[in-house]
Amino acid sequence: MVAMFRMDLERMWKSKSPYICLAFLILFFYFAGIMLLVAIRPELRQAALDMGMEITKSDELDFSFLADQPRIEVLHSMILGGGGMYIFLCGIMVLFVCSDFESGFAKNIFSLESKRWKYIFSKMALMQIIGIVYFIVLVFSSFLFSKMTKMEFASSSWMDYLRYMIVLCAMNGGFCAQSMVILMITRSKAAGIAAAILLPGGIVTAIIEAICNLFDFSILKWTLYGSIKNITFPLTLSQIAFPIAVGIGWTILWLAISIVLIQKKDVA
């Protein structure tokens, strides 16, 4: 498995997709940051209004409140809490796995390695590393944004970042394992990309939750999207325990299904 993971790591390092996705994430964060600046700085707000932009009083209050929050909460509200990063991470994995099957690389691997679960675990470990790197880069990008705009957010302790990163890993594992199941069933890039958008983006969760609400019960807190969306700050061990448990639980379930599916002879 170590050799397989090392090979995956080298291939991903040479691939363009993770760098392109990271660039988009940073651009999204900076765009959201600029909108925040426009809303809270009078001169920028007036210039935006003069150009025809609509900024309601509610928008001003929301942005003003956000500007006073700790940096980790700002990152969560702007880009991490809405599923955006998980969409990119799942998309990267979908493209990577599909390229393995389309090129025949997966078939060669499975002919040499009877324990096919190692293939799945290698991909999952790779996506966790990419997720951690993305998180670290986004944190440093937020400091760079503050430096360039002279906009300082309330400080967050290193423990806050560490706790959030643990939650992120749990959620990333769940979403990527979920996408892996779709790929093992369909081996379709289109289906995989659709799953990477609809599941981490919360669209499927919102539909199911709406149906459940008709019968007076909710499943939101038990879902991956609901767990990350409803995180509250400041982060404490008791507050992150439940989303971590949800993430690990779904990861184990989807991984188990993926392993069963990949062991089928017709997968290769």
Which position has the token pair 């999952």? 124
Kindly report, residue by residue over 239-249, the tens digit of the pLDDT. 899 999 999 99
pLDDT at 109 exceeding the cut of 60? yes
Q: 227: number of CA atoms within 13 Å, CB side? A: 25
Residue 268 pLDDT greater than 60, yes or no: no
pTM of the predicted model over 0.75: yes
Report yes or no: 176 and 124 within 8 Å, Cβ to Cβ: yes
So what's the pLDDT on residue 64? 62
Number of domains present in the structure of the chain: 1
Tell me the pLDDT tens digit for each residue of 125-157. Answer: 999 999 999 999 999 999 998 888 887 788 888
Say which DSSP state 23 is in: H
The residues that bridge with 154 in the sheet, in sequence order, are: 70
pLDDT, mean of residues 94-109: 85
For 202: left if phi > 0, alpha if psi spans -120 to 50, otherwise beta; the answer is left
Q: What is the mean pLDDT of residues 86-106?
A: 90
Amino acid, single-letter form, for residue 27? L
Q: Bigger pLDDT: 77 or 91? A: 91
Nearest CA-CA partner of 95 in 192, 181, 25:
192
Q: What is the pLDDT of residue 87?
A: 94
- Whether residue 62 is predicted with pLDDT greater than 70 in this model: the reply is no
- pLDDT given at position 74: 85
User: For residue 176, is pLDDT > 80?
Assistant: yes
Residue 166 burial (C-beta neighbours within 10 Å; 0-12, 13-18, 19+): middle
| Pick from 55, 56, 58: nearest CA to 44 | 55
Does the structure show a pLDDT above 70 at 60? no
Integer Cα distance of 110 and 119 in angstroms:
8
**What's the whole-number average pLDDT of the chain?**
87
The share of the chain scoring above pLDDT 70, in percent, equals 89
Residues of the domain holding 73: 2-267
Work out the number of other CB atoms within 10 angstroms of the CB of residue 216.
Answer: 6
